[in-house]
Structure 1
Amino acid sequence: MSAILSADDLNDFISPGVACIKPVETLAPSADNSNPYEVTTEDKVQASNPAPASISLTDCLACSGCVTSAEAVLVSLQSHTEVLNTLDSYPPLDVRRRLGDLQNGLTNGALSQSSTPQDAKIFVASVSPQVRASLAATYGISERKAGFMIEQFLSGSQGLRIGGQHNGGFSYVVDTNQMREACLVLGAEEVAESLASKSKPQPILTSACPGWICYAEKTHPHILPHLSALKSPQAMSGTLLKSVLSKTLNIHPSQIWHLAIMPCFDKKLEASREELTDRWWRSADQDPANSNTSPVRDVDCVITSRELLTLASVRGVQLSSLPLKPLSRSDRTPFPDSSISEFLFPISSQHKATQLSLPSNPAVETAAGTSGGYLYHILATEQAKHPGSTISVQRGRNADVIEYSLLPASTPPSLSTKPIMKCARYYGFRNIQNLVRKLKPARQSKLPGAARRTATANGIGAGGSEYAYVEVMACPGGCTNGGGQIKVEDVVDTLPVTRGEAVTVVNGTATPQGQKEWLRRVDEAYFSADSDEDHDEGENGYNNHENGDVPMTNGHADPSSKHSPTVINNINVTRVQDLLAHWPAIVQVPLQTLAYTSYRYVDSDVGKASKAKVKTLNDTERIAQIAGLSGGGW
């Protein structure tokens, strides 16, 4: 799906006989009685065609019949142009002054007049590790230094701030890895609870990939009960930033503008979901005067790695010339809550010190994969409960299908060993389709042996139900191979680091071997985040503030210092759990509302006969009608 949404592969084809379900009322009526939104065959095209319907991203998510490229809509609504236009349209909100006024006890009226113009906004950004890996491979640096490059571009004086009407930039640049840790901890708890209470059908399926979610919602409703209810790191970061900043600064969420930089175009679709807005976590009594206003997205705009390069080019910034170090302390905007600040912007040396019991392990990194490591963290969490247990890995029919088994310590590993838990990884839509077929409920039949087959289908050994968890991603190779990532063809002529015999480009297109080598470089950069040479930040670390520089909203100290930390899979679980207790307390909203979402079966009458007409057709007539629409002859 990500590849479909690439500008380089733009294809606005819609199957014949399929009508859009979102007609625009303002369009001039058609002269005849035919449907002006019906896509027909070429020989039926009239001389005068009606104006095209305007379709929003939310409409695209609600449509189960269109097979179109939504790239034109995506670029117009969420693109580098939207970023620049927004920065130029709204003055930045002065957070330091706002915090000072709040500490001085000014009233809301005085605040709005003194420090917060009605059109002022706080600009925040969240960046995925896959994006940093893509830039790291492009410029021949580590993933961490690529993060410094992005931060300098978005927030530094040599980046976006060099131009525009307000010389605006981003006050906060957040690593989505921080909220990914929260997703992993909550995901492990969700699986453990499901196994214990049987409250959710097995297997639980990853829900962080919007391309996979969109596919499941529109075509396979039987999959929806299996989906994890957790928000993705992108969505969780958006909810955290908007809920905490709006609460602590006493401003409306619409005054916070959140940009997410992600590896795939499908994340634009996720950002437009109705479920990921302030209406789902912000009660009416928190804002009685504006209870009828339009919902505010948790993520206002998503751009990809390639669009980040375009954004820099349009602004006239050369990324390779930016400092590869953190912003200085004087250039940083204080975050209004110290505990959450310490979680979102940890001092690397202190954060790493809590993980010395589990040093970096290349084998573990590879097993965790390049899509967040959901499956591996769940296995590692369960393994911690069974000392001496081992994880067995078995490749499936291709490199993107892998089965994992957690084997008990008491039994020597063998083919007959009953595992404690089985999980699997399915990447790429071809493999996803196989998984979906395995999980499809058995159909009742009167043929001989049907009862036996039904029992098998509903049993432990049927299809994919022997798995406790399946990590599902739409892109082959995982998120580092997202459709919005920088391609070797984009940079081979301008960046010498990508040249060489290993990355071969012929007539502007990378050879299969060249593409494989390029993805290997991106994966290598993705796993370089924990390299020792990149952790020496000195006094430039984000939280090296002097006492009193950042207000202590609730007087909390470093959460990791309050307990002896529990570390699993290089994640300080205690630190994450403290955040998940502190966050709801600040915003006065339950964690269930903040961290979880829902999914729905998307149905429409696109390309279908009316219900009244369907009732009059028998099976043979219906099949003949479908064959006629597809060009077949009966």
Structure 2
Amino acid sequence: MSLSGGLKLTDLNDFITPSQACIKPINVPKTDSTTEIKIDDTGDYYEINAYGEETKLETATITLNDCLACSGCITSAESMLVSLQSHKELYNVIGDNRIAIETGQLQRLRTIVVSISPQSRASMAAKFNLSIQQVYDRLNWFFKERLGINYVVDTSFSRDFSLIESAKEFVQRYIEYYKNNNKQGVLPMISSSCPGWICYAEKTHDFILPYIDTTKSPQQVMGSIIKYYIGGKLGLLPNQIYHVAVMPCYDKKLEASRPCFTNETYKTRDVDCVITTGEIEKMFEEQSLDIQTIPELPSDGFLTKYGISNETNKPILLGTLGSSSGGYLHFIMKYAAYHLFNIVVTDENIINATGPIRFKQGRNNDYREVHLINPENENEVLLCFVYAYGFRNIQNLVRKVKAVNNPRLKKPLPFHYVEVMACPSGCINGGGQLKSDNGSNYVSKEWIEQAENAYQSISLVNGFQDPTDNSAINELYKEWLESPESAKAREMLHTEYKAIQKSEVNALMVSW
């Protein structure tokens, strides 16, 4: 793995120390004047010279290789796992299957399943001016007909499990905290589907781990379904299935590599390989294919959130309302309002802040509070939910939770639920998403908005489905998990987070 030309570290350690700032060195022109740096309310940096003149500074960019090189956020062992997860590994498994067939060693065959995230579909739709349905059907053709993949599935399906389980967990925590009057429930509950946020919390703020939702992300729920439910249906052991997830984020590679998502008996992971949206684009280039001209293969509806088209009578994708990071706040607010206060909140209420819902905008576009108001007393906020995207807002969140946790400060509970994402604008702006064709790696607000619009278009064009109305999910609860409250449901759909202890590094051993 290549390193940045401006970066060289020896004695790499698994954590940043004060002597190893997370920064990519840049050339700064020398001047004779004394200057100072100012940061405005939007987070932009300005250089102020001796005459009071301000010059906006360019943001230093850090590539994935640079981040892995500093070894601050990702351990050296984790960086090795990430390097092993690429589309080349998928090619290797396809090649092994081909050899197994040619040599008659069918026992060596592995069933390959590819699960595609809705954010990746949206990124491709935005770049290539296609509909979400066209992207999915063309990827279905590419994987099945071109590469010989056995199954292509949709992580929107497994996301319904994540949404339902997260909502149930929030309601239970709220009841334990307030209605049982014993403060045993841990609030606020903070979402857990962003692995970048989880990695940060485990390594730097272990006090916040009890607040994090224990529900697995859609990626990992799909891994459980494929390896342990579908595998059983097909008569296959977990290590006889190779599961590839197409995701918008490099951190999803780290998530798939977590020890708790590994089956030691069969020496396999629930998600064997994660490839980003950008890697899919590269695969098309390597295959000399253009997604705008390849054929379409309609989905068979297998593990896909779908309805039936009135025009073609074939399966079509259905959307989920809410943010392009999964719609957690949207669904949990509706669910909690009804199950805790018997208040019916509609989708339109949450989207447009009508009825019992009110918005309170933060200092930037990546922070917003969503309030459930008591219909009988408009001055009473029953629930305060928050969107907090990007590390600037995450740091503010951590400080507020720490204040609640400190008995000396006696701070009141500021909010009840937080949808956290490490990336500004959330998953639709993940580091593995496609870039525009303007030749720049800079992601503009216009480009993010284009991908966001593509993501939301599936609900507008094909329609949407509330997770609790997904009959396939309800059937799996009964057939696979025995019941929604079973021990098996807990094992397959939930996980836990643990603090990772730091080890000190001798700063004198660090060389630049």
Task: Give the direction of change, closer, same or farther, for the CA distance of 1:226–1:93 in structure 2 (3 Å limit).
Answer: farther
Structure 2 match to 1:383: 337
Indicate if the aligned counterparts of 1:13 and 1:67 stay in contact, CA closer than 8 A.
no
Please report the TM-score for the alignment, with normalisation by the length of structure 1: 0.62
Indicate if the aligned counterparts of 1:134 and 1:522 stay in contact, CA closer than 8 A.
yes
Which of the residues 222, 226, 241 maps onto 1:237?
Answer: 222
Which of the residues 4, 13, 16 maps onto 1:20?
Answer: 13
* Partner Cα separation in structure 2 for residue 210 and residue 305 of structure 1: 17
* Partner Cα separation in structure 2 for residue 211 and residue 382 of structure 1: 27
Which of the residues 137, 156, 159 maps onto 2:126?
Answer: 137
Please give the secondary structure, in 1, of the residue aligned with 2:268. Answer: coil
Which of the residues 317, 323, 332 maps onto 2:289?
Answer: 317
Indicate if the aligned counterparts of 1:91 and 1:119 stay in contact, CA closer than 8 A.
no
* Partner Cα separation in structure 2 for residue 260 and residue 68 of structure 1: 22
Which of the residues 408, 421, 434 maps onto 1:473?
Answer: 421
Please report the TM-score for the alignment, with normalisation by the length of structure 2: 0.75
* Partner Cα separation in structure 2 for residue 307 and residue 485 of structure 1: 9
Amino acid at match of 1:250: G
1:323 CA displacement: 2.2
1:15 CA displacement: 6.6
Stretch deviating more after TM superposition (245-254 or 73-82): 73-82
Which of the residues 579, 595, 598 maps onto 2:476?
Answer: 579
* Partner Cα separation in structure 1 for residue 360 and residue 5 of structure 2: 38
Task: Give the direction of change, closer, same or farther, for the CA distance of 1:390–1:442 in structure 2 (3 Å limit).
Answer: closer
User: Does 1:308 pair with 2:237?
Assistant: no
1:577 CA displacement: 3.4
Amino acid at match of 1:274: P
Structure 2 match to 1:602: 500
Please give the secondary structure, in 1, of the residue aligned with 2:158. Answer: helix
Indicate if the aligned counterparts of 2:164 and 2:467 stay in contact, CA closer than 8 A.
no
Deviations 1:416-442 (A, max 9, x none): x11121110100011101111111257
Task: Give the direction of change, closer, same or farther, for the CA distance of 1:406–1:442 in structure 2 (3 Å limit).
Answer: closer
Which of the residues 143, 155, 159 maps onto 2:144?
Answer: 155
1:313 CA displacement: 1.7
* Partner Cα separation in structure 1 for residue 325 and residue 374 of structure 2: 27
Deviations 1:434-463 (A, max 9, x none): 11111125798xxxxxx8xx2523xxx2xx
* Partner Cα separation in structure 1 for residue 510 and residue 239 of structure 2: 47
* Partner Cα separation in structure 1 for residue 256 and residue 289 of structure 2: 27
- CA RMSD across the alignment: 3.8
Indicate if the aligned counterparts of 1:229 and 1:598 stay in contact, CA closer than 8 A.
yes
* Partner Cα separation in structure 1 for residue 4 and residue 302 of structure 2: 43
Which of the residues 585, 588, 591 maps onto 2:489?
Answer: 591
Indicate if the aligned counterparts of 1:223 and 1:439 stay in contact, CA closer than 8 A.
yes
Deviations 1:61-88 (A, max 9, x none): 9x98567899974664111211111111
Asked which structure has the greater CA Rg, the reply is: 1
* Partner Cα separation in structure 2 for residue 591 and residue 569 of structure 1: 20
Amino acid at match of 2:221: M
Task: Give the direction of change, closer, same or farther, for the CA distance of 1:70–1:141 in structure 2 (3 Å limit).
Answer: farther
Deviations 1:393-420 (A, max 9, x none): 1111110010011112222x3xxx1112
* Partner Cα separation in structure 1 for residue 451 and residue 465 of structure 2: 26
Unaligned runs of 5+ in 2: 21-66, 178-183, 346-354
1:312 CA displacement: 1.8
Structure 1 segment 345-360 matched on structure 2, within 5 A: 346-349=306-309
* Partner Cα separation in structure 1 for residue 225 and residue 99 of structure 2: 20
Indicate if the aligned counterparts of 1:185 and 1:573 stay in contact, CA closer than 8 A.
no
Aligned length: 435
Task: Give the direction of change, closer, same or farther, for the CA distance of 1:593–1:570 in structure 2 (3 Å limit).
Answer: closer
Deviations 1:315-353 (A, max 9, x none): 3332222224515xxxx6xxxxxxxx7654644349xx9
Structure 1 segment 127-206 matched on structure 2, within 5 A: 127-156=116-145, 159-160=146-147, 169-198=148-177, 199-206=184-191
Structure 1 match to 2:397: 435
Unaligned runs of 5+ in 1: 23-37, 40-59, 95-114, 161-168, 280-290, 333-340, 354-358, 445-450, 493-504, 536-566, 609-625
Structure 1 match to 2:328: 374
Structure 1 segment 612-623 matched on structure 2, within 5 A: none
* Partner Cα separation in structure 2 for residue 255 and residue 570 of structure 1: 30
User: Does 1:483 pair with 2:440?
Assistant: no
User: Does 1:227 pair with 2:212?
Assistant: yes
Please give the secondary structure, in 1, of the residue aligned with 2:497. Answer: coil
User: Does 1:88 pair with 2:99?
Assistant: no
1:296 CA displacement: 1.0
Which of the residues 298, 302, 307 maps onto 1:326?
Answer: 298
* Partner Cα separation in structure 2 for residue 219 and residue 14 of structure 1: 24
User: Does 1:396 pair with 2:368?
Assistant: no
Structure 2 match to 1:211: 196
Indicate if the aligned counterparts of 2:117 and 2:155 stay in contact, CA closer than 8 A.
yes
Task: Give the direction of change, closer, same or farther, for the CA distance of 1:345–1:181 in structure 2 (3 Å limit).
Answer: closer
Stretch deviating more after TM superposition (574-583 or 369-378): 574-583
1:13 CA displacement: 4.5
1:144 CA displacement: 1.9
Deviations 1:579-605 (A, max 9, x none): 22222249x971111100111100132
Indicate if the aligned counterparts of 1:15 and 1:66 stay in contact, CA closer than 8 A.
no
User: Does 1:519 pair with 2:448?
Assistant: yes
Structure 1 segment 533-552 matched on structure 2, within 5 A: none
* Partner Cα separation in structure 2 for residue 568 and residue 316 of structure 1: 37
Structure 2 match to 1:509: 440
Amino acid at match of 2:440: T
* Partner Cα separation in structure 1 for residue 138 and residue 457 of structure 2: 15
Task: Give the direction of change, closer, same or farther, for the CA distance of 1:455–1:276 in structure 2 (3 Å limit).
Answer: same
* Partner Cα separation in structure 1 for residue 441 and residue 268 of structure 2: 41
Indicate if the aligned counterparts of 2:73 and 2:200 stay in contact, CA closer than 8 A.
no
Indicate if the aligned counterparts of 2:156 and 2:304 stay in contact, CA closer than 8 A.
no
* Partner Cα separation in structure 2 for residue 422 and residue 87 of structure 1: 49
Amino acid at match of 2:454: A
* Partner Cα separation in structure 1 for residue 333 and residue 405 of structure 2: 33
Please give the secondary structure, in 2, of the residue aligned with 1:438. Answer: helix
**Percent of aligned pairs with the same residue?**
34
Structure 2 match to 1:456: 410
1:571 CA displacement: 4.9
Amino acid at match of 1:598: E
* Partner Cα separation in structure 2 for residue 249 and residue 443 of structure 1: 49
Stretch deviating more after TM superposition (341-350 or 185-194): 341-350
Amino acid at match of 1:204: M
